[in-house]
Structure 1
Amino acid sequence: MKKSYTSIGGISFALMLTVAGASFHAQEWKNSDTISRNNTTEATVLRKKTDTLSPSNKPSSEKVSSIEEVVLNAGYYKVKDKERTGSIAKVSAKDIENQPVTNVLSAVQGRVSGVNITQNSGVPGGGFDIQIRGKNSLRREGNNAMYIVDGVVISSENPSRYSNSIMPYSSISPLNSINPNDIENIEILKDADATAIYGSRGANGVILITTKKGKKGKTQLSINTSYALSRAASKMKMMNTEEYIRMRKQAYANDGITTFPATAYDINGAWNQSRYTDWQKVLIGNTAETISTQVSVSGGNEGTSFLVSGSHNEQTTVFPASFRYKTNNITSSISHQSKDRKFTANLSNLISFQTNNMLNQEITNKSIFLSPNAPALYTPNGSINWENNTFDNPIAPFVSTYSNDSKQFTSNVNMSYEVYRGISVKLNGGINYRAFEEYSLLPHTMYNPSYGLTSATSSALRNRRQYFSYIIEPQLGWKHTFGDHQVDVLAGGTFQQDSGYQSQNQGYGFESNALIHNIGAAKTKIITEAGNEYRYAALFGRINYQYKHRYILNITGRRDGSSRFGPQKRFANFGAVGAAWLFSNERFLKEAQWLSFGKLRSSIGTTGSDKIGDYQYLDTYTVSGTGYGGITVLNPSRLYNPLFSWEKTVKLEAAVELGFLKDRINLLAAWYRNRSSNQLVGVPLPGTTGFSSIQANLPATVENKGFEFDLSAFPVRTSHFKWNTSFNISVPTSKLVSFPGLQGSTYANQYVIGYPVSIVKVYQYEGIDPGTGLYRFKDFNGDGKITSPDDNQVVERIGVRYFGGLQNQLQYKNWTFSFLLQFVKQRNWNYHNYMPTPGTMNNQPVELLNVWSQANPNGSYMPYTSGADTQKTALQTFFKTSTAAIGDASFIRLKNIQLSYRLKPENGIVKDAMIYFQGQNLLTWTKYFGLDPEFVLTGFLPPLKTYSFGIQLNF
């Protein structure tokens, strides 16, 4: 059941005041041992001389003797948090591990300002949409972030060909191959100073994932296992049988039809009119189970350390069938350092095996629309029930299956050697191999037997993709300090080569369905093969200068070359300048008791994008499906464009970071603006050319700007009780700044200058005519009728207004409790956008009982129709794409809770044990009219609610 709320903004502001107020009343300020700069980066950690707390958890009474800075991974270099000039957010293992999720992006939702993550589906193994400071490109694939795992670049998507009916955008997240418990840190690079060193690949931000490494000490064995139960997080309240039958009969009466048609099985006597089934409960109401087990071994000495981890995960679905998603991961790392500490080497490997089988057609919509008095799914003998050929059984497609098998291997080696004091050479290299195979099997038994189909109409589709890439990055670094000056110089190069192979096999007509897995047994076979190769080379550099540890200048630059563009446009330059002033180190603030840290920073620079696919600038041809005189022919499919070039994004940011009361309270406030131009899209061409468009750079500019605020505090920190809290909020805005020739192009109905690129043009709904009860819409051109594109002129801003999260962690002795509230303020499509015409053979939410009539002139909906009234069906079509179909999709969600108890036996084999309970997507407060406000695409299963129990043992 959904909860309602009044104001997300008011709640958020009140929470901020509560945090700030509580921090001023906290006791025992001197007992601090951990300081957090903001909610995403662990900043200064104050260490006592005793280094750690005593076993009784009592803090040392000795004074602070040293300050250890948390070091952030910026990709090619590391930087102390207080000295960074760019925007780098960090999520550490303590926020990720043991959560009941299979993809780490789900654990990051709501924790990082400026990073909006949406889960695309509740189906296991699905994808995520991640936007770092908005959408810069007019193309969906052009907005993908760059992923780097242990120094190796991996694809931002694993494209699928046959999963579009079950997974939105046919995308499978590559991060499904990484067990979240194997991740040590995630750093997200956002502004130009942080991303420009990645040049053409940093326009949409960079996500750096560092897996866990071994630590020196005795060999330790760790076992972590959990069991989770998941259910659909929300349901819609639909009409019961009595209400539904009344709606249907009224619809025919409104249409003047007195005798029900032969196809009106629900009300003409063919089906039992007293039968009732809650189809949401039957079709998407099952309980999914997840079993996860991880075993790891780690240890080492002063010179060499290692870690080996293996994990297994199995997850079922909420659908009424035995679909199952399995993952098996093996990660390993070995690190070595010479005795003189001049030479270091790290080797890490990741091996992942994933198998997923699921239904071939989504049934979420059917669970809503199916008549409540529809027949049983199975006959008494257990076969699929077709109810005398009157029932389109929703589980019939279950005999058709979609399955995929994915394998991934990633290996990275990172070596460095200090050849002279302050001068070091470094080599980063790695390989990434991925094999993906998917099957879509469509046997004739998925159709009603009355159709007379045989196995000769069965079909099997297979898609295989193989991908291999390697990257080599030699680097040279120089660090030098003289007096009050400090210089850090980095120079390096990148060479990356990707090669891919794809084959598609389609088979139609089999002698028997027993042969359907063997496409070679099909009567008709279509086989296509393709290969691609991508080469990328770059030179990059960084100069960092500090004066008196107060004034910092950071300059980065990169020259990129990509094979995805023509010879004349293959290379481009990118760079950025960042500066910071640590004003808390100035003499006039050095002794200030109230201010413990203060920094102003700003950056400006350019990044780019070559996310367009391979060979897009070349002439290409496709094999024609129909030959001439029995001869296979080629059809031209793309025009040559040697001037095809990079998208470019100019990023600007200004920020202030503050720490108060010995860093008990920390605040970060940032303003940013990104402007992206040279859009890589299809430019429309006249039909006389024989092509609808040509791949080119559109002279359009998209602007994303906004504010980000992060607040963290330690209101209470005593010997037995600790309370940490953090809050973040992001307020993004977006608009199309320029688009030459927009009004005369095919994009005129899609974009409007001065508005976000996510806008939609809809009809202006003006309520119900009090005399006729029909929907009314504004006639903009005054011609007396509603038509497109003349009358759908209302611009609706679809998308997020602001978003964020509130996180709290409370620790009392061996008990730890934490929770995360995620909130989003947004407008989006609601149920009206995809609902069928009320009165047709489809169930409706109870809200549609409030229908207009002479007795109910204030009804919200037009009188029902069976579909015979063409005027009403036309008005219903307008209604679905009008202002009535767009509404408030804001929500506050209890995203995650964790409760754990840690045991430390004094004697025995087990050195340490932890029992924990976790929950995901537990409660949602919203006014949204639909299944779920997070992801509103029609017909796909929303994210699930999950409860998890587990135990971790350390030996």
Structure 2
Amino acid sequence: MKKNLPDRWKLPAKWKKTILVMKMSLILMVWLTISTSAAVYSQHETVTLDVKSSTLIEVLTRIKDQTGVRILYNVSGLRGVTCKDIVLKDVPVEDALRRVLSGTAFGYEQIEGVFVIKAVVKDEKKSVTIRGWVRDKKEEFLPGVTVRLLGTSLGTSTDTKGWFAITLPVLKGTLEFSFIGYKKQKVDFTEKTDTLRVVMEEDVAALEEVVVRAYGTQNKREVIGAISSVKAEEMKELPTASIVNMLQGRLAGVNIIQQSGAPGSASVIAVRGFNSLLVDGASDGQPLWVVDGVPMHSFVSPVTGTNTLADLDPAMIESVEVLKDAAAASIYGSRAGNGVILITTKKGKAGTTKFAANISYSVSQVQEYPLQIGGRMERWFRNQVMRNRLATGYDWNKQLTYYPSSYESVYLSGGTYDGWWVDGRPDLLGNPVLQDSLNPFYNNSTNWWKHIFRTAKVVNANLQVSGGSERFQYMIGAGWYDEKGIMLNSDYSRANMLINLQTQPTKKIRVDARVMLSYVDRSISRDDGMGGTRRYEGITVDPSKQSTTLPNDGLAEDELLKNINLQRDRTDDYRAMASMSVQYNAWKGITLSASGSVDYAQGNKNQFKPSVLNPDEKENMSDGSIGRAVRLETEELLHWRESINEAHNFDLLIGLNVNKEQQFLIAGFGKRGPSDKIYYYSPPYNPIFNYGTETNPDWRATTSYNSDFREKTMVSYFGRLGYNYKQRYLVEIGFRRDGSSTFGENHRWANFPSFALGWAFSEEPFMRWAYWLNWGKLRGSYGTSGQIFTSEYMAYGLFVAGASFNGNPSVIQSKPVSPNLTWEKSSQYNIGLDLDMFDYRLSVKMDYYFKYTSSLLYKVRLPGTLWGAEDRDENAMEVSNEGIELELLAHILRSSKLGWRMKLNVSRDWSRLEKTYTGKDIGGGYNGFVIGRPLGSIYAFNDTGYYQNEGEVPVYTDIKGNKLFLGGVGAFTGVSGLLGTQRISDASGDYDIQPKDMYYLGSALPLVYGGWVNELTYKDFDLNILFNYSLGRKMINMRNASLSGTDGPVFADVRKLTFWQKEGDQTDMPAIGRPYYPQVRSKIERVNLLSLKQLTIGYNMPKKVMEKIGFSGARFFATGENLFYWSNYSGGNPEVVDVYSGLDGGMAYPLPRKWTLGLTLNF
């Protein structure tokens, strides 16, 4: 409130005017004093400098620190501006600024003692407009190229057609053109300059400047973890259902073995060696797969047998990064013990809408038919087998034994063959006939493999639409993949869709959303019985039931293939993955984000087996099951990035993750359906049937049902702090703490720290002499990661339904409680060296690692039995992996017309079993483990040739005077002690040859593996060649065991083998007809393999031609897959041989040879 003063307190009017003048004079005097002081202060301050190769911001900062004067400038405008080398001693501030700013596009102005740095504009009254276009050496226009007046922040960018126009306040100067993946170009201009025509050159070093890592991206120069990367361009145009097979041979330290050629089947993948004991299901030993930051289910479906990784359409993938060492992967904690594979899908970019369509058609054929003799040769060999075994026929008319000369003579005379000479009457003995070799009708050699294999086709098509504005970008893709396997009843079809959306409603908020849908229809191989699934798909027929002596087609073929043709199956897999994240830029350098995701997978199966395939009980059976898996996950992140004076760079990440998984399964079967033409089952009123007789009844249920539900939860806290000084000295610290409901209360939490250092020694002044070295960095790290087993209740024990008692149901314990179960932990050291040389023409990456995995899960034998349980799961074993990796990337030719890019990777891993729960070797026979030896053990008997004479045969005489063989007659191996049979060592000395007498004789794992890629370009043509190799695998060809039988097919070319006949013979095989056991020392082969996995020839249509018809580009390509292989293995392609056991029984699904023609259109 305003108050009125009494009149006596009011000043005269002239006094008011005098006081006002005094106030203004006082303010003016103070201002002059301050200004003069500032000016005098600055004039008397001096500067001393000695700088080389420094930025302008760094020099100005040193001047401020020395003098205390105020210097103002626009940081973004000066960022990246350098000044020439300068030496000053006691120079006034203004003179120092003039000399520092000379040679740049900047000057200064002093305003009230403050030096303001600003761009120099020579003639502000005149301007010039510069126009032009930018394209690459392939004459393709480049949109989005940044065009900037050198030394200023004035700039623009090219439009979608590569054109630009910019008005500049100077009459002459230099324009700088920059674009990701290309070298910067500087072009001078004047006021008379017409249209600028700029051709940009690819920058090999900049193409991989940004690397995807856990929870974000990182500049390549700042990476100090062991990360291998492959881009989509390197994997294109390979017709395969799974991304795993496309990575084979392309990444150092990542061993991928395609153990089955069945469409949609899984492959072996091991990051930095094998360390799994294979006791935790079909997903055991697999790395963690992360798609766009969201971990996903990766396993073989327990219902349909489908590899869930095949749900990912390779055409929708932008890049793949593999985190190999603990420093890179430990932020994923207990899921990263086997490595982490990051998948980045394609996303939209601002600009006009773009369409990309791809369609290809492939023809698949078997590389080589399995070896099998037939016809006259097979009959001759079988006759020799039976004669050597002294097996004769019996003529009931003459009451004499004799060697029959024909089937007809014995059959018509009422004779029968003995146990070896089967009579060919299925109603009597059910044995296949060994046809009459004297009858020309049976002198055929029908190879039934040619009826089981087929020439198959693959159709692959996808369409992608992308585009958007600065605030909204989208990418929508849809694909269809249909592959018929080269073997009957092995088909795979997939329909999929991917939607990626990014929007920025405000300057501070960004929203990302992704939806991925897929549907798979797949036929299942039945080599392992009705309703079974395998880790790696095998062949769809049983070769031991074939006979090549049956002639031609017709009834014989129908009988052979009816097991495939008459069974009906329908399997479906549904997959839906969705995620959304919201990112908020809270403050400068600080972002907050929250995300949620769901991964839903469902597998349905229904199989029907008609009664004709069950001749014993003459009943049909319908088998069905449904399995569902749901994964829910939420994640909150705080991310802070700060750069101080462009020298000290900080990167901090803090996060919280919560995820929950549920699995649900229902399954059942029904027998004795109403008809073989109705493939589904509806139970009768009383589903019980008497399988016995009225006098001896055997009542059984004709239906069965079971269900299962499991769930687990995990909570994780994690963080990572990175610091580097001018990208020269780098350090990174990571930590994760996981808690899981899988473990008991005392072991529920585990910690996973990591630490890494890096030194870019090429940036040091003392390395300036190495003019050929563009970049050199040393890396070192240590960290821990872990592996959580898949079973949800392993620590708590399991109960199942038991037998009823007095009509009441009961439950019994199927798995005992394991209260001390804890996490599998891996501690890993890594030392690496990165080199870029000769203008980035040659890049070398070398790594040495040592990983020690403790608390590995294993089934420990219990003393006696505990409520029916013979073993218990415990953390009982320890394994180490040590290895070296080498990656070479050479740009041998990189001109605009002719290019040659070569990439070679070599890996060597030593795995060792370090410790067992007993302190001794465990097991033996087929699956033992030896301390100090690699995993993948091969156990075999020690053989020393064949018994040459009676004196070599160990015998003893019983009380009746009979001489008996001291070697386990007819026991495990069938060795009988006859002359010409195998001489096998009795290691235990108990005169009984059993698996306990086997020795450890090597490992089935490769000693060295890798790949070799060559990419050649000539004008519009390109050629891509991929070789894959492995060295030093040990394996045994078990198929020669067919030589000792008297029926069934013979999987060996007996014309190329030698057989023992007399004393002194040194042969491949024992005497014809003698028992033969192939799992012996002398039959172990050390196998090397070189495969031409992929060869692609492509042609890009001229861009000008395509633009005339409304397309922006078109490409034709032809691809061959699994074209050739070179190996010293006796059993064909060794890649499909089980990498864990090394035993080749001939049941693997062969790898197909594929020929593909395709077309890619862009518009």
Give the structure-2-normalised TM-score: 0.72
Residue of 518, 542, 559 corresponding to 1:352: 518
Does the CA-based 8 Å contact 2:754-2:783 persist in structure 1?
Answer: yes
SS in 1 for 2:310: helix
Cα distance, 1:910 vs. partner? 2.1
Deviations 1:584-626 (A, max 9, x none): 11111246311111010011111111123111111321113x4
The AA in structure 1 aligned to 2:1119 is Q
SS at match of 1:803: strand
Contact 1:348/1:411 (8 A) holds in 2: yes
- Of 468, 471, 474, the residue aligned with 2:633 is 471
Whether the 8 Å CA contact 2:1001–2:1081 is kept in 1: the answer is no
The answer as to 2:445 corresponding to 1:295 is no
Residue 666 to residue 550, structure 1, CA distance change in 2 (3 Å): same
What is the DSSP-based 3-state SS (H/G/I as helix, E as strand, rest coil) of the residue aligned with 1:515?
Answer: coil
| Pairs within 5 Å for 1:233-244 | 233-244=367-378
The residue correspondences of 1:524-603 to structure 2 (distance < 5 A) are 524-590=702-768, 592-603=770-781
CA distance in 1, matches of 2:138, 2:886: 24
Distance 2:1061 2:516 in 1: 65
Aligned match of 1:116: 255
In the alignment, residue 158 of structure 1 is paired with which amino acid?
V
Match of 2:479 in 1: 311
Is the Cα–Cα contact under 8 Å of residues 235 and 931 in structure 1 kept in the other structure? Answer: no
Name the counterpart of 1:741: 918
Distance 1:476 1:703, change over 3 A: same
User: How much does 1:755 deviate?
Assistant: 0.2
Per-residue deviation, 1:419? 0.8
Matches within 5 A, 1:337-486: 337=504, 340=507, 342-361=508-527, 363=539, 366-367=542-543, 370-376=546-552, 378-379=554-555, 385-386=558-559, 393-447=560-614, 451=615, 453-454=617-618, 457-483=619-645, 484-486=647-649
Report % sequence identity: 25
1:88 aligned onto 2:227: yes
User: Aligned-pair distance for 1:246?
Assistant: 1.0
Q: How far, CA to CA, are the matches of 2:660 and 2:252 in structure 1?
A: 34
The alpha-carbon deviation at position 672 of structure 1 amounts to: 0.6
CA distance in 1, matches of 2:1003, 2:867: 35
Q: Determine if contact 1:360/1:400 at 8 Å carries over to the other structure.
A: no
* Equivalence for 1:16: none
1:288 to 1:548, Cα distance in 2 relative to 1, 3 A = same
Q: Which moved more, 1:789-798 or 1:541-550?
A: 789-798
Query: Does the 8 A contact of 1:226 with 1:293 survive in 2?
Result: yes
2: distance between equivalents of 1:122 and 1:65? 37
Q: Secondary structure at the match of 1:513?
A: coil
Question: Which residue does the alignment assign to 1:824?
Answer: 1030
Alpha-carbon distance in structure 1 between the residues aligned to 2:223 and 2:845:
13
Deviations, residues 145-189 of structure 1 (Å, cap 9, x unaligned): 11111222211203325x6xxxxxxx5321111111111111111
Q: Greater shift after overlay, 149-158 or 688-697? A: 688-697
Query: In the TM superposition, what is the alpha-carbon distance from 1:220 to its structure 2 partner?
Result: 1.6
Contact 1:506–1:526 (CA under 8 A) maintained in structure 2? yes
Letter in 1 for 2:442: Q
1:750 equivalenced with 2:928 (yes/no):
yes
- Pairing partner for 2:451 from 266, 271, 282: 282
Check the 8 A contact 2:739/2:748 in 1, yes or no.
Answer: yes
Tell me the residue number matched to 1:9.
Answer: none
1:654 to 827, 831, 844: 831
2:1088 alignment partner AA: S
CA change 1:67–1:735 in 2 (3 A) is closer
Residue matched to 1:20: none
Asked if the contact 1:283/1:319 (under 8 Å) is kept, the reply is yes
2:338 pairs, out of 200, 204, 216, with 204
Q: Cα gap change, 1:694/1:543 in structure 2, threshold over 3 Å: closer, same or farther?
A: farther
Match of 1:7 in 2: none
2: CA distance between counterparts of 1:134 and 1:810? Answer: 32
Shift of the 528–688 alpha-carbon distance from structure 1 to 2, 3 Å rule, reads: closer
The answer (yes or no) to whether the contact 1:249–1:267 under 8 Å persists in 2 is no
Instruction: Determine whether 1:780 maps to 2:941.
Output: no
Q: Which moved more, 1:917-926 or 1:428-437?
A: 428-437
Residue matched to 2:1130: 929
> Which position in structure 1 is the counterpart of 2:1012?
806
Give 1:268 shift: 4.8
Residue 702, structure 1, aligned to residue 879, structure 2: yes
Supply the distance in 1 between the matched residues of 2:924 and 2:499 (Cα, whole angstroms).
50
Q: 1:89 to 1:368 in 2, by over 3 A?
A: farther
1:334 is aligned to 2:501: yes
Which residue in the other structure is 1:49 paired with?
185
* 8 A contact 1:716–1:722 mirrored in 2: yes
Give the partner amino acid of 2:879.
V
Q: Secondary structure at the match of 2:600?
A: strand
Residue type of the alignment partner of 2:1109? G
User: 1:277 is aligned with what amino acid?
Assistant: T
Structure 2 CA distance for aligned equivalents of residues 675 and 91 of structure 1: 27
1:250-275 per-position Cα deviation (integer Å, ceiling 9, x unaligned): 01110112323314654353995302
2:243 paired with 1:104: yes
Q: Which residue of 2 aligns with 1:14?
A: none
Counterpart CA distance in 2 for 1:897 and 1:32 is 23
Residue equivalent to 1:156: 298
Cα deviations across residues 311-356 of structure 1 (Å, max 9, x unaligned)? Answer: 11111122346x532110011111123574x432221110000011
> Match for residue 423 of structure 2?
262
Is the Cα contact below 8 Å between 1:764 and 1:777 reproduced in 2?
yes
| Gaps in structure 2 of 5+ consecutive residues | 1-135, 140-178, 188-196, 394-420, 425-430, 528-537, 689-701, 950-978, 1139-1144
Change (3 A) 1:417 1:452: closer
- AA of the residue aligned to 2:784: T
User: CA contact under 8 A between 1:119 and 1:935: conserved in structure 2?
Assistant: yes
Q: Do the aligned partners of residues 235 and 569 (structure 1) sit closer, same or farther apart at CA in structure 2, a change above 3 Å counting?
A: same
| C-alpha displacement of 1:438 | 1.7
Higher gyration radius (CA): 2
Going from structure 1 to structure 2, the CA distance change for 1:355 and 1:144 (only over 3 Å counts) comes to same
Is residue 720 from structure 1 mapped to residue 862 from structure 2 by the alignment? no
For residues 626-674 of structure 1, what are the alpha-carbon distances to aligned partners after superposition, in whole Å with 9 as ceiling and x for unaligned? 4334433212111222221111110111011111111110111110111
The structural deviation recorded for 1:844 is 2.7
Once the two structures are overlaid, the 10-residue window that deviates more, 688-697 or 286-295, is 688-697
Contact 1:136 1:703 in 2 (8 A): yes
Q: Please say if 1:676 is aligned against 2:846.
A: no
Q: Which has the higher contact order (CA 8 A, sep 6+)?
A: 1
Which residue identity is paired with 2:817?
Answer: Y
Q: Over the residues paired in the alignment, what is the CA RMSD in angstroms?
A: 2.8
In the alignment, what sits opposite 1:15?
A: none
Match of 1:127 in 2: 266
CA drift of 1:199 comes to 0.5
Q: Which amino acid aligns with 1:309?
A: G
**Structure 1 residues 64 and 732 mapped into 2: Cα distance closer, same or farther (>3 Å)?**
closer
Q: Secondary structure at the match of 2:1108?
A: coil
Report the CA distance shift for 1:364/1:859 in structure 2 as closer, same or farther (over 3 A).
Answer: farther
Pairing 1:852–2:1060 present: yes
Aligned to 1:4: none
Displacement of 1:461: 1.6
Letter in 1 for 2:223: R
Contact 1:142 1:609 in 2 (8 A): no
> Which TM-score applies when normalising by structure 1?
0.87
Instruction: Kindly indicate whether the alpha-carbon contact (under 8 Å) linking 1:359 and 1:400 is maintained by their aligned counterparts in 2.
Output: no
What is the aligned partner in structure 1 of residue 1108 from structure 2? 907
The Cα of 1:834 is off from its aligned counterpart by 7.0
Change (3 A) 1:855 1:701: closer
